[in-house]
Structure 1
């Protein structure tokens, strides 16, 4: 049996031996490269552990089998490593960016973020990408010598720019870049671009799995979609007696494989046309170097539209979304008006904050760090008169 051989490092791959360093200089590890060390710091962070009980569409008590932010991040990292290996990119950097990309999410997925952003509108709003960056550079308080994780320039750049250049960065990021420029107006590394599209591949395909399992739509509904329908038909023709769970899994793994192969083909074409010789050539290119073909982009758009209508706006999900927004909004209002209901450390910080905006940011940080389970319990303890403390 033959196996794909790992590609030699591409000239445009990020080299950990040539990293632009860390904001606070540290001795290098004798056992790990700089990017491996970044990945390990992310995995060992408190914010990463909390992803186990933070959900994307369903709140955690809907079922144990649905994906959480943690399982999603692991799946994104696996896809990113596989793609990076085939392109000769640095797998560790791609994995680090993939594992970090969801750290700033609130409880209850986008419903929680929308509620917190609404509550924070007069205080600068809330954005999960900015929150991820604040966790990486400030909020994670674990190390004796610095706040945050003190990651390399390349990992931080990938975390903030994985979706592309940022023409109008949010305040915290803009202030940070005045001291340590992450070159926000350029493309990120090829590794970060891989992590971004690995996120899209994992998100859409695994939402198909979760949506079918929850009964929000059927295979017959999916049969009408380009790319998805033909693959279901192909699997059915090959395995006519296959039980439903295996049929679904076999289809999804083939869909993921098709999207990965399309990405590799289009990316290799763009790399050939642009002929980058260094990692900085990727950053200064006139377009993304890692991409889907136009056909795949159209198919992906159709799938996204389907999932938005049939899953994210399904009436059962809307009911849970309404509950989630209420929990987050009421907790925010309570903590702003009565900071003495916060735990001791957070209470002290909120009560000594210089003005409403700093206090609101502290309250938002506290709520954003909650898991679904913790937020529900915190709300129940305060607002349910029959619950004893």
Structure 2
């Protein structure tokens, strides 16, 4: 019995009957097993080492003109992974599966966060970052070969948002942990930016969760574990679900759709729109690896794939290279 087989055997002893078991994991393409890593550990590693995950370091979470102390898509994903693992351990579910889904759930996000997603959706009629995340790991990574992730990880990535619940409890953990993470750390970043004060929080939120983002996370995680124990599902108490919705509505009104950030959102949309229009008209300017996929996917999808994969800084750099005269760029650097 090798290391992987021993770990797989232990899962049946240690984990809940409701936990996804690594030995039962399925892939679209069969491949030799690793002697020391389970299927879900292998998925986690593939995502962690992927180009699309590395690019999250330079993709916006909320604040487009952010500094070093503000969250990015990468730090968000890491926080979701840690929150999810804590819940999974408390419920004796599969931590490796939970972590893999959490790390991969946002790899399809466009530059400039949801502003870029909204711009892309307007341009092509339908664009959703969860679907693009699945497309990234399924088709675009490894020069078009994809990562060949397990079905449970792909399902969790696709359904981490939207009305459909993931078929594993581990995926359902990530679906709620994602919301816990972004509400709490976006509130924390908003305090740092000066857009919010702790006293701005609705009384129902502060009375239940406090005003410190760490305490907020702890409160919601504790509620999830207690509410889900022996329930064969991932749940929040009725009161906590209500508080979270109040918190979410507050953040959408005061931050995500805030007039104070409207200029940034408009600028981000403009960059996405101009790049999309340019590459649709000058398809030959795309990297060769993208042009080679035109026959299979069509021109529009290839342009979407290219732009969605850009980091914020590279999208701005491409915009400047294409639309800003060189003499102006030199002048801006001098200033």
Q: TM-score, normalised by structure 2?
A: 0.89
The aligned residue for residue 255 of structure 1 is 216
SS in 2 for 1:81: helix
Give the CA deviation at 1:316.
2.9
> Could you tell me how far apart the structure 2 residues matched to 1:90 and 1:63 are?
35
SS in 2 for 1:148: coil
> Could you tell me how far apart the structure 1 residues matched to 2:91 and 2:314 are?
41
The aligned residue for residue 82 of structure 2 is 78
The aligned residue for residue 31 of structure 1 is 36
> Could you tell me how far apart the structure 2 residues matched to 1:164 and 1:324 are?
24
Question: Residues 220, 77 of structure 1: CA spacing in aligned structure 2 closer, same or farther, 3 A cutoff?
Answer: same
- 2:74 is aligned with 1:134: no
The aligned residue for residue 381 of structure 1 is 321
The aligned residue for residue 11 of structure 1 is 17
The aligned residue for residue 56 of structure 2 is 51
> Could you tell me how far apart the structure 2 residues matched to 1:129 and 1:293 are?
26
The aligned residue for residue 330 of structure 1 is 274
The aligned residue for residue 359 of structure 1 is 299
> Could you tell me how far apart the structure 1 residues matched to 2:281 and 2:162 are?
39
Deviates most, 357-366 or 155-164: 155-164
The aligned residue for residue 107 of structure 1 is 111
- Kept after mapping to 2: 8 A contact 1:165/1:187: no
SS in 1 for 2:329: coil
- 2:182 is aligned with 1:203: yes
CA RMSD, 1 decimal? 2.1
Give the CA deviation at 1:163.
4.2
> Could you tell me how far apart the structure 2 residues matched to 1:92 and 1:48 are?
17
SS in 2 for 1:29: coil
Question: Residues 261, 308 of structure 1: CA spacing in aligned structure 2 closer, same or farther, 3 A cutoff?
Answer: same
Give the CA deviation at 1:312.
1.3
SS in 2 for 1:141: helix
> Could you tell me how far apart the structure 2 residues matched to 1:162 and 1:208 are?
21
> Could you tell me how far apart the structure 2 residues matched to 1:36 and 1:344 are?
33
> Could you tell me how far apart the structure 1 residues matched to 2:200 and 2:159 are?
35
- Kept after mapping to 1: 8 A contact 2:111/2:311: yes
The aligned residue for residue 241 of structure 1 is none
Paired residue total: 317
The aligned residue for residue 193 of structure 2 is 214
| 1:338-362 deviations in Å (ceiling 9; x for gaps) | 223333443x337x548xx811110
Q: Which stretches in structure 1 are left out of the alignment for 5+ residues?
A: 1-5, 167-185, 233-247, 272-288
The aligned residue for residue 95 of structure 2 is 91
Which of 225, 242, 257 is the matching residue for 2:203? 225
> Could you tell me how far apart the structure 2 residues matched to 1:30 and 1:353 are?
39
- 2:311 is aligned with 1:371: yes
> Could you tell me how far apart the structure 1 residues matched to 2:282 and 2:266 are?
24
Q: TM-score, normalised by structure 1?
A: 0.77
Greater relative contact order (Cα 8 A, min sep 6): structure 1 or 2? 1
> Could you tell me how far apart the structure 1 residues matched to 2:46 and 2:117 are?
25
Question: Residues 201, 304 of structure 1: CA spacing in aligned structure 2 closer, same or farther, 3 A cutoff?
Answer: same
Q: Which stretches in structure 2 are left out of the alignment for 5+ residues?
A: 1-10, 331-335
Question: Residues 353, 336 of structure 1: CA spacing in aligned structure 2 closer, same or farther, 3 A cutoff?
Answer: farther
Give the CA deviation at 1:72.
0.4
- 2:225 is aligned with 1:293: no
> Could you tell me how far apart the structure 2 residues matched to 1:211 and 1:52 are?
19
Question: Residues 310, 198 of structure 1: CA spacing in aligned structure 2 closer, same or farther, 3 A cutoff?
Answer: same
Give the CA deviation at 1:229.
4.7
SS in 1 for 2:131: helix
The aligned residue for residue 151 of structure 1 is 149
> Could you tell me how far apart the structure 1 residues matched to 2:323 and 2:129 are?
27
- 2:120 is aligned with 1:116: yes
More helix by share: 2
Question: Residues 370, 90 of structure 1: CA spacing in aligned structure 2 closer, same or farther, 3 A cutoff?
Answer: same
- 2:186 is aligned with 1:188: no
> Could you tell me how far apart the structure 2 residues matched to 1:162 and 1:333 are?
30
